[in-house]
Amino acid sequence: GDSWGIFTFLCAALCNLPALPALNCTEELGAGQSIQQTYDLTRYLEHQLRTLAGTYLNYLGPPFNEPDFNPPRLARAERVPSATVDLDLWRGLTDNARLAANYRAYSRLLCYLRVLDGQVGTAELRHRLAHFCASLQGLVLSIGGVMSSLGYPLPAGPPAPSGAPPASNDFLKKMDDFWLLKELQTWLWRSAKDFNRLKKKVPPAVVTLRLEARGF
Amino acid sequence: DVHMQYERVGADVTMKCGSMDWDAAVTWTVNGTDIDESHLNGSYLILKNVSVMQSGQYFCYEGSSWHLKYQTYLSVGTPPKEPVLMCRSNNYPKGFYCSWHLPTPTYIPNFFNISVIHGTKEMVCEKDAVPKNRCHIRYLQLFSTVKYKVTLTVTNALGKNFTTLTFDEFAIVKPDPPESVVAKPVPNNPRRLEVSWQNPSSWPDPESFPLKFFLRYRPLILDQWQHVELSDGTSHTITDAYAGKEYIIQVAAKDNDIGTWSDWSVAVHATPWTEEPKHLTTEAQITETTSASTSSFMAPPTTKICDKGAVVGSGAVAVCWTAGLVMAAYSVLFI
């Protein structure tokens, strides 16, 4: 379990660092296989999140850990990027837009999770969060890698999380955490579908042509 | 004037003959049959501990003139128990449907009202003509973090009841079983069966939302199933079938990432290819004579033994033939 995540993260990091002319790595992988790897990583993260969310919601205590808990969405929670999208709009997304939406979402979610990491009480929770953040970082790099290999520009970095006003009380803070985990879960479900669609539309042959065109 | 009344099973019912005095002489009938005087208290009809069987049209006639003084239709039933509600998305990402029923009959007409709330929005669940007690909803948005809350209320003349379901968009995804499952033997392969099927027709977009499949098979004579999970493709070749045995095969489907497995498809039967017993008569004679002398040690000749011998024999011959041809071809090349 642990080693798998770290391995993937290292691989994604090494193979996708823009500074390295890691052409051998990308050439061998091809965007098709990178998309497959990114898809696999989202499934792995989804699995990891289930355990993490269970532990975290128990730490927050009731009503957050109750299965029927279905609170209304408060306006302040909108700062966390939402995976929810109109069906036809989602279908019509270009490959670039689809990848960019994923990249932006996970970059921001990662920032918020890191803030969370600094605040939680128990050692077990800190360890799980740290592990999850590492895997999530791997996912962001993996998506970035796919975008680069397809010739798309990476979206601008996420805004600093301190831009949003902090929660005024303990309960509201917990609500923020609850929604953060929910959005993360929904994004991972959505990404599986996004990458399924990309898999079909980007066969490995296309990438070879692109690499040749860039003179590699 | 005509009346209608609903009463609970087990209740005591008193029917008054309209405006007639208590001590008036009357005759009550139910569905055309006179009711015995023992059930009367003056002109009142007393029905104790009513049952569903006592539902019907009741008439009250004045004693001598046989004028109809009162009529009522009595329906005996029960208030509704908590209804059973089920919601499922077999056509993701188009939407979902909900269907419901009562666990026990009430014997009187029931009215169902369904409400679907998504966050702050109330959505309309369109009732299906067929089957009854079913409605469907189209998703306006995909990948929602907010749960759907479905409340079903059932009302009848004797009471009401309700039930609620709360779920995430992803939790209720369950495709219909795969369709057109076909299993065929593979010629010249006594241990193979070729199985193929199609995506359920209700699944609208298998390209963007691919399905994965689960195949299970067993020979009819055994209880243990063998399972194969397939992440893509709509066909599979079984390579470890027992020769000559009839198999039962089923397939189930699931969205690649979310939801639950479908029910099993309709079962298909198939038997792997077996060789035509060409030399059966000669082989059988030989085996029979051998068994006559060593009957205590050898099993009685079965078609399997005969077939095995025939197949091995012809197989060996075939190999020799092919080898010979290859040799000949090579020698020609080197001339």
Could you report the per-residue pLDDT of B163-184, keeping only the tens digit for each?
A: 999 999 999 999 999 999 999 9
Q: Please give the Cα distance from B77 to B105 (Å, whole number).
A: 8
pLDDT of residue A174: 87
Burial track B71-101 (b if 16+ CB lie within 10 A, e otherwise)? bbebbbbbbbeebebebbbbbbbbbbbbbbe
Whether the complex's predicted ipTM surpasses the cut of 0.90: no
Nearest Cα of chain B lies from the Cα of A4 at a distance, in angstroms, of 20
What integer is the mean pLDDT of B130-147?
A: 91
Q: Do B143 and A189 touch (CB under 8 A)?
A: yes
Contact A207, A35 (CB under 8 A): no
Cα separation of A49 and A11, whole Å?
21
Structural domain total, chain A: 1
A127-180 confidence digits (pLDDT tens): 889 999 999 999 999 999 999 988 999 988 656 554 456 667 788 888 888 888
Residue A144 lies in a domain: yes
Whether B257 and chain A come into contact, CB under 8 Å, resolves to yes
Q: Which residues contact A197 (CB under 8 A, 6 or more apart)?
A: A98, B208
A114 within some domain = yes
Tell me whether residue B290 is in a domain: no
Q: Which residues of A touch B208 (CB under 8 A)?
A: 91, 193, 196-197, 200
B139: chain A residues, CB-CB within 8 Å = 87
> How many pairs of residues across A and B have Cβ atoms under 8 Å apart?
62
Give the pLDDT score at B60.
93
Provide the domain limits for residue B231.
Answer: 179-270
- B276 lies in some domain: no
What is the tens place of the pLDDT at every residue in B302-318?
444 333 433 334 444 44
Least confident range from B108-117, B258-267, B310-319: namely B310-319
Could you tell me which residue, B109 or B319, shows the higher pLDDT?
B109
Per-residue confidence band for A113, with pLDDT thresholds at 50, 70 and 90: confident
In a domain, B293, yes or no: no
- Of B77, B93, B127, the one marking the end of a domain is B77
pLDDT reported for residue B64: 85
Q: Which of A85, A196, A198, A201 to mutate to test the interface with B (most CBs of B within 10 A)?
A: A196
- Same domain, residue pair B263 and B223: yes
The Cα–Cα gap between A98 and A101 comes to 5
